[in-house]
């Protein structure tokens, strides 16, 4: 599985970027944002999104694990580790495999840079460093989220984890609300851009790990466990009822894949995330009067998705397509970092 990306160390060096001189018009547009500030904001967006996704993953896996027998439960937690690309890191951590162990690893482990607690801590560090670019509301929302999880070192029972996830989800919604009330300019755009890139990455990983459910190799489908698996998958992306609104009838593998890839009404679909990325990058271009490689990559990606359908993807291999998507998304992340001169 592809490893998840983390923020490069804060201390950037004077990159070899020649830099462009700015015209007078430019200065008048208002404050020019520091590249470092932009990087902090972008990673606030990514880490808050990752924290929420992982929280939902834990919540849904607890549910799935409760529905099946011992073996099904272990399987559920193994696939949760796979979704976040942490299977080998977990094995290397020396912790013995158990549902409670994985639960701790995904939520609180200090050894896991993608654990919910680590993500929120990283988001808060970035927020502290970019404090002058944030509104009080956004800062407080991030800080409150941190306070929910700061003093937690042990996961406690399953119910404690569910309570923690509930509180975190509420605080992260508060963060999103505060973000929506920020001035519509570079400050909020960078956080939204980070969130959009992260969201695409997460949904693609989720689909990739569960693809054997969507495309079962020959066995009969539609048993009770499969239905649970699918509804769990939808629960992770908070789309269980949304699916019902769009498709009538029982859960169908193709439809779930279609839903999570193509339906742009669905905020966590790949199409929606690709579309949001293009829109946000255009907003920057609207301010600066310039486009860059990131704009072109994002636009091309959206065009490609719009020209595709689920039948074609499945024919050519969903797994391969998702892998390519994750790699393209990472390339776009790199292009954004270069275009805005992150450290």
Partner 1 sequence: MAQGRPFDELWGASRDRTPRADFEAVAAWLADLTPAELLRRQQAAEAAFRSLGITFAVYGDEEAAERIIPFDIIPRIFTAREWASLSAGLEQRVHAINLFIDDVYGARKIIADGFIPADIVLGNSQYCIPVAGARPPHGVYAHICGIDLVRTGPDDFCVLEDNARTPSGVSYMLENREAMLRLCPELFDALPVEPVDSYPELLRETLQSVSPGRGDACCVLLTPGHFNSAFYEHSFLADNMGIELVEGTDLEVDDDFVWMRTIHGRKRVDVIYRRIDDAFLDPLVFDPQSALGVPGLMAAYRAGNVTLVNAPGTGIADDKAIYSYMPEIVRYYTGEEPRLPNVETFRCREKTALQHVLDNLDKLVVKLVDGSGGYGMLVGPAATRKQLDEFRAALKAEPERYIAQPTLALSTVPTFTEAGLAPRHVDFRPFVLTGANGIRIVPGGLTRVALREGSLVVNSSQGGGTKDSFVLAPEEAGPEDMQFLDKQADG
Residue ranges in contact with partner 1 by CB under 8 A: 10-15, 17, 19-22, 26-27, 31-36, 38, 125, 128-129, 131-132, 143, 186, 284, 288, 290, 340-341, 343
* Nearest one of 213, 219, 218 to 234, comparing CA atoms: 213
Tokens standing for residue 23? 């015209």
Nearer to partner 1, 27 or 181 (CB): 27
- Residue with smaller CB distance to partner 1, 110 or 306: 110
- Least separation in angstroms between CB 124 and partner 1: 9
Q: Report in angstroms how near the CB of residue 334 gets to partner 1 at its nearest.
A: 16
* CB of 20 vs partner 1, minimal distance in Å: 4
Tokens of 59: 């919540």
CA distance 19 to 144: 38
Nearest to 111 by CA among 144, 86, 142: 86
Nearest approach, Cβ of 295 to partner 1 (angstroms)? 14
- To partner 1, the closest distance from the beta carbon of 128 in angstroms equals 5
Q: How far is the CB of 318 from partner 1 (least distance, A)?
A: 37
Give the closest residue to 331 by CA, choosing from 201, 217, 213, 216.
Answer: 201
Task: State the minimum distance, in angstroms, from the CB of residue 193 to partner 1.
Answer: 11
- State how far the Cα of 145 lies from the Cα of 169, in Å rounded to an integer: 9
Distance of alpha carbon 203 from alpha carbon 197, whole angstroms: 10
Output 64 or 193, the one with its CB closest to partner 1. 193
Q: Quick one: DSSP state of residue 266?
A: S
- Closest C-alpha to 339, from 279, 304, 298: 298
What does the alpha-carbon distance between residue 119 and residue 49 come to, in Å, rounded to a whole number? 9
The nearest distance, CB 155 to partner 1, in angstroms, is 22
Distance CA(219)–CA(289), nearest Å, equals: 55
Cβ proximity to partner 1: between 43 and 259 the closer is 43
Dmax (CA) for the chain in angstroms is 68
Nearer to partner 1, 267 or 343 (CB): 343
Residue with tokens 């509420």: 170
What tokens does 3 get?
């490893």
Question: How far from chain centre, in Å, is Cα 271?
Answer: 14
- Closest CB to partner 1 among residues 14, 249: 14
Nearer Cβ to partner 1 (108/322): 108
- Per DSSP, 307 falls in state T
- Cβ proximity to partner 1, 3 vs 32, nearer residue: 32
DSSP letter at 28 equals H
């Amino acid at each position: 599985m592809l490893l998840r990306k983390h923020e490069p160390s804060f201390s950037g060096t004077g990159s070899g970027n020649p830099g462009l001189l700015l015209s007078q018009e430019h200065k008048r547009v208002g404050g020019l944002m520091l590249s470092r500030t932009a990087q902090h904001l972008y990673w606030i967006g990514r880490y808050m999104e990752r924290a929420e996704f992982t929280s939902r993953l834990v919540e849904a896996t607890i549910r799935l694990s409760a529905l099946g027998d011992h073996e099904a439960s272990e399987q559920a937690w193994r696939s949760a580790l796979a979704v976040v690309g942490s299977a080998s890191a977990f094995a290397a951590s020396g912790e013995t495999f158990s549902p409670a162990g994985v639960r701790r690893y995904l939520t609180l482990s200090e050894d896991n840079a993608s654990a919910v607690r680590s993500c929120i801590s990283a988001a808060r560090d970035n927020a502290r460093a970019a404090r002058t670019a944030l509104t009080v509301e956004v800062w407080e929302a991030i800080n409150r989220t941190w306070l929910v999880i700061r003093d937690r070192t042990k996961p406690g029972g399953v119910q404690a984890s569910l309570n923690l996830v509930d509180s975190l989800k509420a605080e992260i919604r508060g963060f999103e609300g505060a973000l929506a009330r920020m001035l519509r300019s570079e400050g909020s755009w960078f956080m939204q851009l980070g969130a959009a890139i992260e969201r695409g990455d997460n949904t693609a990983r989720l689909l990739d790990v569960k693809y054997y459910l969507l495309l079962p190799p020959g066995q009969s489908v539609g048993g009770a466990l499969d239905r649970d698996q699918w509804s769990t998958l939808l629960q992770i992306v908070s789309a269980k009822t949304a699916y019902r609104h769009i498709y009538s009838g029982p859960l169908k593998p193709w439809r779930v894949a279609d839903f999570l890839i193509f339906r742009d009404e669905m905020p966590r679909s790949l199409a929606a995330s690709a579309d949001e990325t293009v829109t946000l990058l255009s907003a920057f271009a609207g301010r600066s009067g310039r486009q860059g490689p990131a704009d072109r990559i994002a636009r091309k990606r959206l065009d490609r998705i719009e020209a595709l359908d689920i039948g074609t993807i499945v024919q050519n291999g969903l797994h391969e397509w998702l892998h390519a998507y994750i790699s393209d998304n990472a390339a776009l992340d790199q292009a954004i970092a270069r275009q805005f001169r992150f450290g």
